[in-house]
Amino acid sequence: MSDRRYITTPIYYVNAHPHIGHIYTSTINDVYARFQRSLGRDVFYLTGTDEHGQKVETSARERGITPRELADENSAVFRSVLEMFDISNDDFIRTTDADHERQVQGFVQQLLDADMIYLGEFEGWYDEGQEEYYTETKAKDLEYKSPVSGRSLVRATEKNYYFRLSAFQEAIEAMFRDQPDFVRPEARRNEMLGRIREGLNDVPVSRTNFSWGIPVPGDESHVIYVWIDALFNYITALGLGDSDGDRRESRAHWWPADYHIVGKEILWFHSVIWPAVLMALDLPLPRCIYAHSFWISEGQKMSKSLGNFIDLDTLQRYCDSYGRDALRWYLATQGPLGATDADFSAQHFHETYTTDLVNTLGNCASRVSAMIGKYCEGACPVDSGACAGGGVDWADFTSGQVESSIAAMDQFDLAGSISAGLAIIRQVDAFINDTAPFKLAKDPDAHVLVETILYRCAEAIRIAACLLEPVMPTRMQELRAAWNLGDATSDLRSECQWGRLEPGTVIEKVALFPRIEFESSSD
C-alpha cells in the first residue's frame, strides 16, 4: 500500500434527516482517517450530500419551497452534524455544486460518445419510492412489493438513456475473481457474485418524469438518474472530470479510492454499476468496497412508529450523559462492520461504557496517576531497570500491540485495532496486581522498584492512549494534557516507541470516564 489513503462515505440523501446510520458510517470513516493521519499518511476523507431526484422535488413541493431550498436546508443539517460528532472530513461535496454538475455532464457526454450510453426503450418492474427498477427474478423474490415501502411495484415503460452494463459481464466477473478483496465482507461479495451470475442487464440512467436533476447533455428533456449522478461524486470531488484546474492538480492523485464505505443496501450500485462505469471511462477501480450491515435498535428494525428510532436527539442525549467519545467508542467497537446487524440497546451501551471505559481504561489511568502522585510526588519516575517481576517484556509487548493495531486498521478492522490498545491497558492492570506497588510502597527499601513499576505502567498507558486517540480524540487529548505529553506528532510508530516518556514529566491525576448510573430512559 502506498502512503496515501482516500476514503469515502455514501453521500447522504437530503430528503431525510441524519440518524444513527449516517453518524455510524461517518464515525467509522473518521476513526480510520484519524488513525491513518497519525501514521503520517496523506489522507483524503470525503463525505457530502446527494441532492437531486424525484423524492427531493416532491418533498419540496409538499412544503411549498424549491428543491434547491430544501437541499440547502438539509445539507446544512448534515454538515453541522459532522461537527457535533467530531468528524474530520477533508471535504463535503454537494451534488448541486456547479463543479460536480459540470463534470457529471462531461462524463456522460464521454459515455454517449463511446456508445456506452444509448437511447432505448425499456419495460420493467419499478419501485416508485426508491426510483429503482428490478429484474423479473428480483421482483418475483420480492413478491412484486417494494422492499423498503412495501408498496406494489408497478410495470413501467420508459424511453430512456441506458448504460451498457451487459457489455461488462465478463470484465466484472474477472475483476471479482482477480481482486478477491474488492468487496468485503466475504458474505456480501458472494451475494453480489450470485447476482452478477444471473446476468447483467443494461441500466436506465435518465429520467423524464421530473426535472430536479442534471440534464443529459444535448437532450434537456431527460435528467441524469440520481444514482449515476451520485456515484460520480467520488471522482468529481477530485476534479477527475476536468482536464486541468486547481482541483484536479491538487487532488487527482488520490484516485483510486482505498475504501468506499457503504451500507449493505447500496452495495450493488457500488460494486457492480460503479466499476463498470469506471471501466467504460477507462479509469482505475477503487481498491475495496466495504459494505457494513445495519444498526437495529433494542432488537428490532428502527422505526418511528415503534418508538425505537435513533435520531439525532437520541444520540445527543447519549453524548450529554456519557460524552461524545463514549458514543464513538460504542459505534466503533460494537458496530455492524461484519455481515450481521448490530443491536443498539441502552443497556448494552451502558455495559460497554462501564466495562471498557470506566473499569478498564479510566480506572487504570487514574490508579497509575494517583500512585505517581502519592509515591513519586506527581512526577514521572525513572525506570532503573530493576527486575520488577510480572514477566512482561514491555518494549516487546507494546510494539507487538502497536503493529497489530496498525495492521487491523489497514484492513478496516476497527474493533481489532482498538482491542490491541485495550490489551495494553489490561496488561497494565495484571502487572499492577502481580507486582502490587501499593504494598511495596510501604517498604522504603523498595522505592526504586516502585518507581520502575510505575514508570512502566505510565509508559504503557501513554502508548495505548496514542492508539486510542483516533477513536476518542477528546478524552485522549485530556490525558495528554494532564500528563504533559505534548501534541501528537503524526508519526505513530516512533511516538509509540518504548521509553519516550521523560522522567520528571508532571503527571496529574485524571478522571477520564465518570461512573454513571444506568437510567433506562436514556434510550
CB of 119 to ligand ME8, least distance (A): 24
Residue among 24 and 107 whose Cβ is closer to ligand ME8: 24
Q: Which three cell numbers stand for residue 502?
A: 521523560
CB of 46 to ligand ME8, least distance (A): 11
Cβ pair 205, 213 in contact under 8 A: no
How many chain residues bind ligand ME8 (CB under 6 A)? 19
Residue among 270 and 462 whose Cβ is closer to ligand ME8: 270
Could you give the CA distance from residue 148 to residue 128 in angstroms, rounded to a whole number? Answer: 11
Q: Which three cell numbers stand for residue 167?
A: 457489455
Strands 132-134, 117-127: pairing is: antiparallel
Site membership for ligand ME8, residue 7 (CB under 6 A): no
Binding mask 300-329 for ligand ME8 (x = CB under 6 A): --x---------------------------
The residue within the footprint of ligand ME8, chosen from 6, 12, 126, 455 (CB under 6 A), is 12
Of 243, 7, 14, 222, whose CA–CA distance to 106 is shortest? 243
Q: Which three cell numbers stand for residue 327?
A: 458514543
Residue among 12 and 375 whose Cβ is closer to ligand ME8: 12
CB of 16 to ligand ME8, least distance (A): 6
Residue among 302 and 409 whose Cβ is closer to ligand ME8: 302
CB of 71 to ligand ME8, least distance (A): 12
Could you give the CA distance from residue 315 to residue 305 in angstroms, rounded to a whole number? Answer: 18
Of 46, 427, 110, 520, whose CA–CA distance to 259 is shortest? 46
Site membership for ligand ME8, residue 412 (CB under 6 A): no
CB of 354 to ligand ME8, least distance (A): 24
- CA dihedral of 469, 474, 478, 484, whole degrees rounded to 10: 50
| Cβ neighbours around 377 below 10 Å, total | 10
CB of 347 to ligand ME8, least distance (A): 19
- Closest residue by beta carbon to ligand ME8: 21
Could you give the CA distance from residue 350 to residue 344 in angstroms, rounded to a whole number? Answer: 11
Could you give the CA distance from residue 122 to residue 113 in angstroms, rounded to a whole number? Answer: 21
**118 has which bridge partners?**
162
Q: Which stretch binds ligand ME8 (CB under 6 A): 17-25, 168-176, 244-252, 505-513?
A: 17-25
CB of 84 to ligand ME8, least distance (A): 16
CB of 5 to ligand ME8, least distance (A): 19
| Cβ neighbours around 10 below 10 Å, total | 24
Q: CA of 431: how far to CAs of 165, 176, 208, 357, 391, in Å? A: 60, 48, 69, 19, 8
Residue 112, H or E segment: helix 98-113
Residue among 101 and 383 whose Cβ is closer to ligand ME8: 101
Site membership for ligand ME8, residue 294 (CB under 6 A): yes
Could you give the CA distance from residue 45 to residue 88 in angstroms, rounded to a whole number? Answer: 8
Site membership for ligand ME8, residue 175 (CB under 6 A): no
Q: Which stretch binds ligand ME8 (CB under 6 A): 12-20, 79-87, 422-430, 431-439?
A: 12-20
The residue within the footprint of ligand ME8, chosen from 5, 7, 21, 238 (CB under 6 A), is 21
Binding mask 260-279 for ligand ME8 (x = CB under 6 A): --xx--x-------------
CB of 490 to ligand ME8, least distance (A): 28
Binding mask 353-392 for ligand ME8 (x = CB under 6 A): ----------------------------------------
| Cβ neighbours around 262 below 10 Å, total | 19
Could you give the CA distance from residue 61 to residue 73 in angstroms, rounded to a whole number? Answer: 14
Of 386, 364, 507, whose CA–CA distance to 432 is shortest? 364
Q: Which stretch binds ligand ME8 (CB under 6 A): 63-71, 225-233, 326-334, 410-418?
A: 225-233
Q: Which amino acid is at 326?
A: A
The residue within the footprint of ligand ME8, chosen from 28, 81, 231, 476 (CB under 6 A), is 231
Question: What DSSP line would sit under 206-265, residue for residue?
Answer: EE-S---SPEETTEEEEEE-HHHHHHTHHHHTTTTTSSSSHHHHHHGGGPSPSEEEEEGG
Site membership for ligand ME8, residue 13 (CB under 6 A): yes
Residue among 9 and 401 whose Cβ is closer to ligand ME8: 9
Could you give the CA distance from residue 456 to residue 462 in angstroms, rounded to a whole number? Answer: 10
Q: Which stretch binds ligand ME8 (CB under 6 A): 15-23, 160-168, 205-213, 455-463?
A: 15-23
CB of 464 to ligand ME8, least distance (A): 28
The residue within the footprint of ligand ME8, chosen from 230, 288, 358, 372 (CB under 6 A), is 230
Binding mask 23-52 for ligand ME8 (x = CB under 6 A): -xx------------------------x--
Cβ pair 130, 152 in contact under 8 A: no
Q: Is 91 helix (H, G, I), strand (E, B) or coil?
A: strand
Sequence-separated (6 or more) residues with CB below 8 Å from residue 521: none
Residue among 200 and 231 whose Cβ is closer to ligand ME8: 231
The contact set with ligand ME8 (CB under 6 A) reads 10-13, 16, 21-22, 24-25, 50, 230-231, 233, 262-263, 266, 294-295, 302
